[in-house]
Structure 1
Amino acid sequence: MHTRSTSPAARSSVPAGVVSGMGAGALWGLVFLAPVLTPDFSPWLLSAGRYLCFGLMAFALLASRGRVLLKRASLGQWGNLAWLALTGNTLYYVLLAAAVQNAGIATVSLVMGFLPVLVSLAGQRDPGAVSLRRLLPSLLLCVAGAICIGWQALQPQLQPQQRLQHLFGLACAVTALMSWTAYAVGNARALARLQDMSAHDWNLLTGVATGVQGLLLTMPALLLDQHPHAGHDWLRLGGVSLVVAILASILGNSLWNRMSRLLPLTLVGQMILFETLFAMAYGLMWARRWPHPLEALALVLVITSVLASLSAHRTSATTRATG
């Protein structure tokens, strides 16, 4: 047996990645409030508005050097960007907005809380992955926390028509979970293959691809919208779309991409728990109430889950360094 020292850069990558993941979760948690702030607009319009703003801002930020980046991206990368834009942005947000409007934030938080389990399972063969045996305590805590978050939502006293609406929202949340899992895994692997492009530039190119999809979505979204809206309603939709695009799509995605380059995929999955944590906190602040006992327990379990995952990765890294 011999001992190999771990470089300072390697030792510092995990804390920096975790901080970036926390920042991304804090910003992404805001998207759960957007459907609540604009309840009269369809999920299609919410997604189109948000990603039109994202695409325009990404295009503006790329204006000075966009031609170079556009040429640098290969045809295969553009195909990958289109797929990531669909699974992680356009389709995902349509499903998320529909889920929140029909089933509420608690149920959506419950379902999205299972994302770390799926991402960790998908990343088992990636470099730096930690075995399921070491991740098991963290994953069990994650599941327990998610169940606590949505326990009351899973046992509502609903009328038959309300129950159908709730089940539709739950189905949308599950589909959103699958869509974002595909994005998280695909994006982390795409970033690992990048050599001559920064994570921020990759995010902006994703924004351009998403903006094109948002533009294509606008006309059918307007045709499908059957509700009349006053001028101030459209202003509110525009304001919410712009704020969410800046905070979640530009800043949040940049932090997430930075984190994805610093952390192994199995730990990347754990970081999405911060979105669940902040979404729940924002929902409570919006409702102007303290968490119920189960909700408070869920927050403790979520935080403990992330700490357990960090401990598992630290132990694994030490074993590899001394093995």
Structure 2
Amino acid sequence: MGILYGAAAGALWGTVFVAPALGSDFTGLQLAAGRYLVYGLVSALLLVPRWPQLRGWMEGTHRRALVGLSLLANIIYYVALATAVQWGGVAMASLVIGFLPVAVTVVGSRAAGAVPLPRLAPSLLFSAIAIVCIGGQALTGGGAFEWRRAAGFLCAVVALVSWTIYALRNARWLHRLPQVSAHDWNLLTGVVTGALSLLLVPAALYFDTATHSAGAWTRFAAISAGMAVFASILGNGLWNRMSRLLPLTLVGQMILFETLFALVYGFLWEWRMPSVAEWIAMACVGLSVVTCLHAHRR
């Protein structure tokens, strides 16, 4: 069930790589602010009947943890990711986020009871091959080096670091709080994220010099609502359920599903078939997960 939850979360999260392309006339700050304002509002509404039971255990330590996790997983991560997609393309962002399994797996291998790194070597090797296959194409776009794509690459690296830290800290907090359901923890994160996103609104409006039509704002609202409900509410909830069922080294490998689905959605958006290198990359993604599952067999 943990593996199925991880795959479903990846399928939902993969949509956020296409959303910046759909809303290319809006900035990454605006997309993040819109998405997380809706996320916070929906989370607050769903949390109302649950709040009397939850406030009994809430302490200052938990509130500070939720603020930190919200910044890492949502605000910092998605502002950087959306900017990376708009400046470098879906393949660029997918490539860099593809390093997440390697980063989380390597760091998670230090946890108590984790599978040792030597047993994970085949899985990490397949991950590395998948990343290298689309590396050159993602950085150059098939032509000469471009500074805008390089800046997008740096934004994607920021997203990578932010989400790696989040994945590890969030899994540890979920194990520390067995009395709190994964769904409630996600809703609490959503409320805090929504409050933090209010700080993005002034900057999002100030740095946008373009004039948008009523139709463009309607499309923006639909994109924000779609990302909030499908990626943040449903996707994060599935991810939290998975984080409780799987060890950290296997949690890292589940992020590969996000990369795989992001590539598939990107190909559909561009209405083209994958290149040979991209076929090899997707095959290696699947082999990476399979070999990691084999390493975790008792």
User: Shorter-normalised TM-score: what interval?
Assistant: over 0.9
1:195 CA drift (Å): 2.7
Report what 1:172 is aligned to.
155
Match of 1:97 in 2: 82
- Deviation for aligned residue 1:225: 1.1
Consecutive aligned runs of 4 or more in structure 1 exceeding 4 Å deviation: 157-160
> Shift of residue 154 of structure 1?
2.6
The answer for the alignment partner of 2:174 in structure 1 is 191
**1:96-128: per-residue Cα shift (whole Å, max 9, x none)?**
000000011111111111111111121123233
Structure 2 residues without counterparts, runs of 5 or longer: none
Aligned counterpart for 1:109 among listed residues 87, 94, 97? 94
- The answer for the alignment partner of 1:34 in structure 2 is 19
Query: Are 1:127 and 1:264, in contact at CA under 8 Å, matched by a contact in 2?
Result: no
Please say if 1:220 is aligned against 2:192. no
Matched with 1:139 is: 124
Shift of 1:64: 1.3
2:220 paired residue among 227, 237, 242 = 237
Taking only the aligned residue pairs, the percentage that are identical comes to 52
Query: Which residue matches 1:9?
Result: none
Counterpart of 1:295? 278
Partner of 1:152: 137
Matched-pair contact (CA < 8 Å) for 2:111–2:248: yes
Alpha-carbon deviations, 1:207-247, whole Å to 9, x = none? Answer: 00100011121122111111111111111110000011100
Letter in 1 for 2:292: S
Change (3 A) 1:267 1:234: same
Provide, for residues 260-288 of structure 1, a one-character-per-residue CA deviation record: whole Å limited to 9, x for no partner.
Answer: 00000000000000000000000111111
* TM alignment of 1:262-281, pairs within 5 A: 262-281=245-264
**Aligned twin of 2:111:** 126
The range that moved more, 43-52 or 120-129, is: 120-129
Is 1:58–1:205's contact at 8 Å kept on the other side of the alignment?
A: yes
For 1:258 and 1:127, how far apart are their aligned partners in 2?
A: 20
2-structure distance, mates of 1:153, 1:125:
32
Q: Counterpart in 1 of 2:235?
A: 252
CA distance in 2, matches of 1:111, 1:119: 13
| Higher Rg | 1
**Aligned equivalent of 2:67:** 82
Measure how far apart 1:157 and its partner are. 5.0
Give TM-score scaled by structure 2 length. 0.97
CA shift, 1:159, in A, is 6.2
Does the Cα contact within 8 Å between 1:109 and 1:150 map onto a contact in 2? no
Residue 305 of structure 1 pairs with residue 294 of structure 2: no
| 1:66 shift after superposition | 1.9
> What is the Cα deviation at residue 71 of structure 1?
4.1
Residue of structure 1 in register with 2:37 after alignment:
52
Amino acid across the alignment from 1:222 = L
Structure 1 residue 158: deviation in Å?
Answer: 4.9
Is this contact kept in 2: 1:119–1:265, CA < 8 A? Answer: yes
**Contact 1:85 1:209 survives alignment (8 Å):** yes
| Counterparts of 2:85 and 2:141, CA distance in 1 | 15
Deviations along 1:146-192, whole A, 9 cap, x unmatched? Answer: 121333123435567xx110110000001110000011011011101
Instruction: Please say which of residues 101-110 and 263-272 is displaced more in the overlay.
Output: 101-110
Q: Distance between the aligned counterparts of 1:109 and 1:123, measured in 2?
A: 22
- Contact (CA 8 Å) 2:97, 2:156: kept in 1 or not? yes
Q: Structure 1: 5+ residue runs without aligned partners?
A: 1-15, 319-323
| Matches of 1:139 and 1:39, distance apart in 2 | 34
Q: Secondary structure at the match of 1:96?
A: helix
Listed one character per residue, the Cα deviations across residues 47-74 of structure 1 (whole Å, up to 9, x for unaligned) are 0000000000000001112243234221
Q: Which amino acid aligns with 1:240?
A: I
